[in-house]
Amino acid sequence: MALDRWIGLVLLGVCLVYGYTAWFTMDGGLAPFMQRNPIWPSTFPKVLSIMGIIASLIIVLGFEKGEAKIGDIDYRKLWEYNLGQALLLLVLMAAYALLLRPAGFLISTSGFLILGSVILGERRILLTLIIAAVATGIVWYLVQVVLGIFLRPLPLFLGAT
């Protein structure tokens, strides 16, 4: 089965769970006065669940056969591309999300930019350090001082507010 039909199957599952919630569990706690209304909080989701189930079934059962297009990247030969770099960058992004508050903006951001460049093959470490440090400082200044959006600059253990 082609990838688009597998995705269709996953989406069918999502729509079924969504529909089950809308049809069977959502209205349980509905206040009596709301039950006399022509529209309930579950009405629109019920309509969407039916539409979603029909559309995903059309995809899964292959009723609408489209030409199999291969874009810039052929997912069937994914290992021939820089898959390792892409996965490492995703892990780095998740680590950045988790460390942004505890490590502070300056350390986590410069770390992200340095490691990101290293993952992509940059070996001029001094240049990378300088670019990351300057860029982090400029972005922090622009966001914190110019735009007035608070970004904790230093780690929590240094007592930064």
Positions touching another protein (CB under 8 A) are 2-4, 7-8, 11, 14-15, 18, 21, 26, 34, 37-39, 41, 43-45, 48-49, 51-52, 55-56, 58-59, 63-67, 69, 71-73, 75, 78, 81-83, 85-86, 89-90, 93-94, 96-98, 100-101, 109, 112-113, 116-117, 120-122, 128, 131, 135, 139, 143, 147-150
How far apart are the C-alpha atoms of 17 and 12, rounded to whole Å?
9
Residues whose CB falls within 8 Å of the CB of residue 140, separated by 6 or more in sequence, listed in order: 105, 106, 109, 151, 153
- Compare residues 58 and 160 and give the one whose CB is closer to another protein: 58
**Sequential DSSP letters for 36-75:** GSS--TTHHHHHHHHHHHHHHHHHHTT-S-------SS-G
Tell me how far, at minimum, the Cβ of 39 lies from another protein, in Å: 4
- Compare residues 32 and 66 and give the one whose CB is closer to another protein: 66
Tell me how far, at minimum, the Cβ of 65 lies from another protein, in Å: 7
Tell me how far, at minimum, the Cβ of 119 lies from another protein, in Å: 8
Q: Which of 97, 105, 111, 112 is nearest to 153 (CA)?
A: 105
DSSP state of 64: S
